[in-house]
Amino acid sequence: MTHLDGKTAVITGGGTGIGLAIAKRLAADGANCVLMGRNLERLEKEAAKIERATAIQCDVSDPASVETAFASAKENGPVMVLVNNAGIASSAPFHRLSEEEFLRIQNVNVTGVFRCTKAVTNDMREADHGRVINISSIAGLGGGPYISHYCASKHAVIGMTRALAAEWARTQTTVNAICPGYVRTEMAESAIRTIIEKTGATREQAIAELAKSNPQGRLLEVEEVAEIAGWLCHPDSRSINGQAIALNGGQSM
């Protein structure tokens, strides 16, 4: 028996990268993992490799899609773990940043978190062991050039995390955020390609540029983020609430 046996865990953006690594980690602790994302084919392919995992298509930017997806996820019982991992990023100097692009990022990274958390609110308020884990970023703890819209979204996620943790403090559910630096994912690959295209740097130079923000001089691995998520789901972590946990190798914010 493990502490997540029989409990339903929903992971948005669960088909790749951090989300997929977290799904594997929670499944190892006994959870029935529901992988959500826009690409159903990819979700089904990955879910087939994980014991007790299922795939449900969900676009967190679409209220109707979220409602349908979470109704399906709850067919076999309430959701006891929610990992809000789905997110997008782009870069632009502020003077060229359109309102449309600003709102596109907020709709996924902030309102998407709101929609998904709202969908499990009743489950979490009544849970005997509930966990909401929001994947934010070190961009939610500080600032950086060309990502004002992304920083705004990740700061908002941390604010929502802290507020909801305070509101639900007398329940058995905790709400926390994980704030990684650059992780070796598709999102990092996109940033690497952008650096190469705009500066003419080699791939190795582009990776080194991203890694500079980490005093350890490296990109994080998805398993490192997944391990923190697994720890937050353990009963012994119940006093950890409303936190924004930085994974950045010691970077000063």
Identify the three-state secondary structure at position 52: coil
Annotated catalytic residue: which of 150, 153, 157, 184? 150
Which distant-in-sequence residues (6+ apart) come within 8 Å of 64 by Cβ? none
10 in Cβ contact with 79 (< 8 Å): yes
Q: Which residue, among 58, 182, 72, has the nearest Cα to 112 in the 3D structure? A: 58
Q: In three state form, how does the secondary structure of 100-149 look?
A: HHHHHHHHHHHHHHHHHHHHCHHHHHHCCCEEEEEECCHHHCCCCCCCHH
- Residue 103: count of CB within 10 angstroms of its CB: 11
> What distances in angstroms separate CA 79 from CA 22, 63, 100, 135, 217, one per listed residue?
16, 18, 33, 18, 38
- Residues paired with residue 10 on neighbouring β-strands, in sequence order: 34, 82
The H or E element that residue 35 is part of is strand 32-37
Say whether 150 is catalytic. yes
Contacts of 17 (CB under 8 A, 6+ apart): 183, 185, 186, 187, 222
Residues designated as active site: 150
